[in-house]
Structure 1
């Protein structure tokens, strides 16, 4: 298959100005291929003919919430920037199995199962809950989470002063303004929207909680 792809790519590169030839070759190597959606460029054409997708494919996590976790990460699943870091930690955690991930934006989020931390409190800054029930926040939470997946060295420098205080100040600033930075409504607006959704979805049921 690889040899076919290389040979076809060479022909297409040579005759890239001939649409009929391109269409014919592409259908030969991949019947579902549409050459019109592929940008000009050798690299793109080779990948398309070989049947590879342009976007990255993320394999499903094997065990996103291990039973014998050592620390629980409360994260905002609606935060696009936050999710980049969460996804990285999830991938690392597949090997270590020490972190349990809890999405506070989920309708199933339960403060009672997370040391009484309600949605508004958890949205204020990063919270992590150790298996013994101890709650850590801010940079310290990141430090312990990273240690559990073999990346403790990333935050080692924050253990020393005055760098520790600087790191805390930078994170506090980010936590305070992250909604604005990511183009989201204020926390009050989000809470109101969640409350409305809860009422519409659950009615008077006590099973739904903020």
Structure 2
């Protein structure tokens, strides 16, 4: 994908997903807000209609939008978010034509399994606990 990015990139992620939250934690530590904005689609005050997609669509495939309005999805959203955080060298294999079909297959498999991974420890679990109780119920959608 050869293009001149129009920063910042806004990445729409599911903060309820333990694996996604781990990746976002890494990106948040590395990224400059001038290049990467992170939007948690799992919070009650996120309104998916404001970006023109349903919550289900955003949950089924990673979405990101550049400042000029151009959308990237799936592996390309991952690639560009890692580039925005200065970690592009780790995501460079996603651009290799010989391996791209294998990565696409792996990504599609992950997307199917992701809803069933909520049993994994969440990196923000301690922040979800207040007054000696933890709210682990699903947020209303």
TM-score class, shorter-chain normalisation, is 0.7 to 0.9
TM-fit CA distance, 1:96: 5.8
RMSD value, Cα = 2.1
Q: Where does residue 166 of structure 1 map in the other structure? A: 102
TM-fit CA distance, 1:182: 3.0
Distance in structure 1 (CA, Å) of the matches to 2:93 and 2:40: 28
Aligned length: 119
Q: Where does residue 91 of structure 1 map in the other structure? A: 29
Instruction: Name the structure with the higher strand share.
Output: 2
Q: Does 1:146 align with 2:90?
A: no
Q: Where does residue 105 of structure 1 map in the other structure? A: 42
Q: With CA pairs under 8 Å and 6+ residues apart, which has the higher RCO, 1 or 2?
A: 2
Superposed structure 1 runs of 4+ greater than 4 Å apart: none
> Gaps spanning 5+ residues in structure 1: where?
1-67, 185-192, 198-209
TM-score (structure 1 length as normaliser):
0.52
TM-fit CA distance, 1:97: 3.1
Distance in structure 2 (CA, Å) of the matches to 1:166 and 1:77: 26
Distance in structure 2 (CA, Å) of the matches to 1:96 and 1:103: 15
Instruction: Name the structure with the higher helix share.
Output: 1
> Gaps spanning 5+ residues in structure 2: where?
1-5, 121-137
